[in-house]
Every structure is written in structure tokens, then in C-alpha cells.
Structure 1
Amino acid sequence: MATEGRVVTARDGVQLYVATCGTGPDLLALSGGPGLVNFLADERLWPDGVCAWFPDPRGVGRSAGGPHSMATAVADLEDLRRGLGVESWTVLGHSAGSDLAVRYAVEHPASVRAVIGVAGHGLHKDRTWSAAYHAGHEPRLDIEWDEDVWRALNESFVDWIHEPGLWRGLADCSVPMRIVAAGDDIRPDWPLRQLAATVPGATFESIPGVPHDFWHTHPETWRALVASAMTTE
């Protein structure tokens, strides 16, 4: 697991916990859920030459607080960046963490050097693929989570994707984004293709033969992806 931990005080006084490992360019790793502890905080997943940061979301794990909105989650990321003394960082998000990374980049482009969005949900609530999703549902991993935080962030996500300026903000975003689909993900990749086609500096790719949680099933593939993304940033 990650070898060190820090506590940063958010602007409203809430104590936020962030684990870290490695040295080099700063990379903020946002795990999915939402409302799960940061399951990416394992130094075996990260290549040499990277200083990776793994925050537990507000109200989850070792971070204080409780249910909150995506806007608060974004503000927490900025408070972490300032509190850690980081000028700017690459932001990698997995699943729901990818959606948060995209919003963070749109709202704070000076703080984000690049986004690596892996197996994201996409900015939609389309359920036409619901039957296929449930038929192929992958086994759930045993990861600590908070149901109230999960519910609040999901509701806030729906509010965000209904905002009238959402797509204008994406089209105007100058942050480079590498949007990555897991080839065997039970979710469709068309929302990720749409996202990559909207953001001017975004690219799309799909990694064949890996499921949604390939950080767990194919750690070598995950590590190689991060190394490649950080090298070509």
C-alpha cells in the first residue's frame, strides 16, 4: 500500500486524508464509486518516477465530513493541492473518479496539467443499455464505502450533467485529456467517445481484453498505461 499519509484542512475546517507514494511529477489519483475509500492507494500500481496522491473522499475512510456535492468534491481537490504545496498535477480518475477529474479540469484548468480518464461513466444517465449491463455485471470488490456519500454524489452528478453550460465548458476546455475505455467493460464506450470528441485536446483509446476494474485484475496493464500517459504528457 501507499507508504505515507497527510492530513489537509479544507476551507470549511474538515480534515481530509491523503496517502502518497513515490517521487517525481505530481499525479492525483481519484478512485471510483463514488463514496468509496481510495482503492488505488497501492504503490504496486504506480510506475517509478511519479509522486502519486490518493485522497479519501470527504466522509469516507480516514477523511472527516459527510455527504456532499460534486462542487464540494472539486473544492476539496483544490484545497488538497494548495495544502500539499502542489502547483499543478496530472489527474487520473477511474470510473466515477474519471467524471470528477473532467469536472475539476474544466473548472480549474490552471491546476490540472492533464487528465487520464479510465473506464469512466460518461456524462449521461442513459439506461437503454441497462439489461445488458445487469446481465454482465462484474463481481463487486470488497471496498469500504459510505452509502450516504454515494447517494449524495450520484444525485449531484445528475444535477451537473443537466447544467446548460456543461458542453460549452467541455468544448472550451484547454486541458489535454486521455480518455481510456476498458475493452471488456460492461458499460458501453460511446459516452467516452463523445467526451473525447468534444474536448479539443482529448484522445480516445480502448484497451482490449480488460474489465472495468483492471487495476485489480491486470495491474501490469494499469501500470503500463500510467507510465505511458506520464511519459507522453
Structure 2
Amino acid sequence: MEEHFIETSGCRLWTAKQGQGIPDLLISGGPGCADYLEPVASLIDDICEVVRFDPRGCGRSESDDTGYGVKECIEDLERIREHYKIEKWIVMGHSWGADLALAYAMLQPNSLLGFVSISGTGIQNDRDWKRAYEEGVKGKRETCPDSVYSYNKEVHRSLINSWREYMKRPHILKDISMIEVPTLFVYGQRDIRPSWPILQIASLINGAKAIEIEEAEHYIWMQNKSRLREELRKYVSESF
């Protein structure tokens, strides 16, 4: 594995590259989480050249503390792509990272080979799952490892607000329907987040596939790694 710090708009981003094959970017969720997707990278790094990174202000990456939004995130992704001299790549995101990958697919089509959403949230604000989540937190039914779930609260607030504004763009559904690359949506059968917003987006993209992973929750690889591995590898081998 190679590790590099990349300069972008006054910040230094930590990045890592592993494997060989089709170029692939993994985007962690939160927003505001440092990279936690090495387990996913290991599922495909014999057929993909996988790039991971810590977003601004998260983990090993710096931030200028002025706050930032979707625009700056897209610029950072392009800077990473240019640093590794990648012409086009598959962009895979988990949770909010899947939403950012969706925005990238709309805004940077010339940089895109494919788009994969893993446990994405979609563009609709369904509040029912949030109430269930809060009840679970109050009951402390399951302790979550800090290394997986810790995040930068300032980055989280800044990006959530920016994402909400971005989703208010006129003709957003039409923009989604213009995505023309091989597209895969993967979601867990037991994810507390509803699947209907993901299925809505999938229905807008020509040829997109939506796969439910049985017995899996939001972090699919923790409950059904073998099935996730199967679907990701099938997507890569059949699409490219």
C-alpha cells in the first residue's frame, strides 16, 4: 500500500492506494468520518487499483477550519484523481459517501467509469429511521467502536447543510437520469435506513442495478462480507 499527502486548496489530504486493475475510489460516510473502508478495498484490490482518503479535517487530513461544502469535496476528489494520474475511475461511496459519489457522477461525468452506492441515503429526507436510531442510542442496545463511528462534528454540520442546499437544485431528478455509466446500488436487508429512496434513484438511471444483501445492516461487510464481495466483483467483471 502506498500513502501520500496531497495538497488541495491550502489543505493536506491523506490518501492511500492499494491493488492493481481498474481504478476505483472509495468514499467514507458521516459526513465527517475518516476513512474506514479498507475492509471493502480488500474485497476487490486484486482486480482494482483502490484509492482511499481522509476528508478535510478528518483523521490524518488537515482543514483550514473555515468549513466547506459539496463543491470543495468534488474539487478534492478531482485533485486526488489528478495526483494519481487516473483518467477515469469507478467511484464507490458508503452511506453519505454514496451521496457524494452521486453528486460527483452528475458533476464530473468525464472523470467517471462507474458509480457504486453502498448503503446510500438517497435524496429524500425520511425521518422515521432517525427516531428509531435515537431510541436505540438512548437504550444503548449496542456499543459501536469509536474507530468506525467517530467523526468531526464541525465537518458533519457543514457538509449536511451544503448537501441539503445541493439537493434543492432545480431538475435534480433529471440530472440523475443523465448518468450513463454502469451503476450499482447495494443495501442491507436490515439497514435502519429505508431502501425506498435508493430504489427511487436506481429507477431513474438507465441500466442501474439495485441489490439487497440479506442479513446485512448499514455496514454490510460486517454481517455479510462474502455476498458484498460477490456483488462488487461481479459488477466490475461484467461492466469493464
Residue 29 of structure 2 corresponds to: 32
Counterpart check, 1:162 vs 2:159: no
CA contact (8 A) 1:125 1:158 kept: no
User: In structure 2, what is the equivalent of residue 226 of structure 1?
Assistant: 232
Contact 1:136 1:186 in 2 (8 A): no
Q: Which amino acid is 1:58 matched to?
A: R
The within-5 A match list for 1:189-200 is 189-200=195-206
Maintained 8 Å contact 1:31/1:39: yes
Stretch of structure 1 that moved more, 133-142 or 172-181: 133-142
For residues 118 and 139 of structure 1, do their structure 2 counterparts lie closer, same or farther at Cα, with a shift above 3 Å needed? Answer: farther
CA RMSD in angstroms, aligned pairs only: 1.9
Task: Give the Cα–Cα distance (whole angstroms) in 2 for the partners of residues 5 and 191 of structure 1.
Answer: 35
**Counterpart Cα distance in 1 of 2:171 and 2:143:** 36
**Counterpart residue number, 1:153:** 159
1:119 and 2:150 matched: no
* Aligned residue runs from structure 1 range 72-111, under 5 A: 72-111=72-111
- SS of the aligned residue for 1:162 comes to coil
Unaligned runs of 5+ in 2: none
1:100 deviates by: 0.6
Contact 1:47 1:226 (C-alpha < 8 Å) held by counterparts:
no
Residues of 2 paired with 1:150 and 1:95: CA distance? 13
The answer as to 2:38 corresponding to 1:41 is yes
My pick for the range that moved more, 211-220 or 72-81, is 211-220
Indicate conservation of the 8 Å contact 2:54/2:61, yes or no.
Answer: yes
The TM-score normalised by the length of structure 1 is: 0.91
Count of residues in Structure 1 that have an aligned counterpart in Structure 2: 230
Letter in 2 for 1:107: L
| TM-score normalised by L of structure 2 | 0.88
Residues of 2 paired with 1:194 and 1:165: CA distance? 15
The answer to whether the Cα contact below 8 Å between 1:57 and 1:63 also exists between their aligned partners in 2 is: yes
Query: Paired residue for 2:188?
Result: 182
The 1:186/1:139 distance shift into structure 2, 3 A limit, reads farther
Letter in 1 for 2:3: G
Q: Runs of at least 4 residues of structure 1 off by over 3 A?
A: 42-47, 128-141
In the alignment, is the contact (CA less than 8 A) between 2:18 and 2:45 conserved in 1?
no
Separation of aligned partners in 2, 1:85 and 1:130? 40
CA distance in 1, matches of 2:101, 2:167: 14
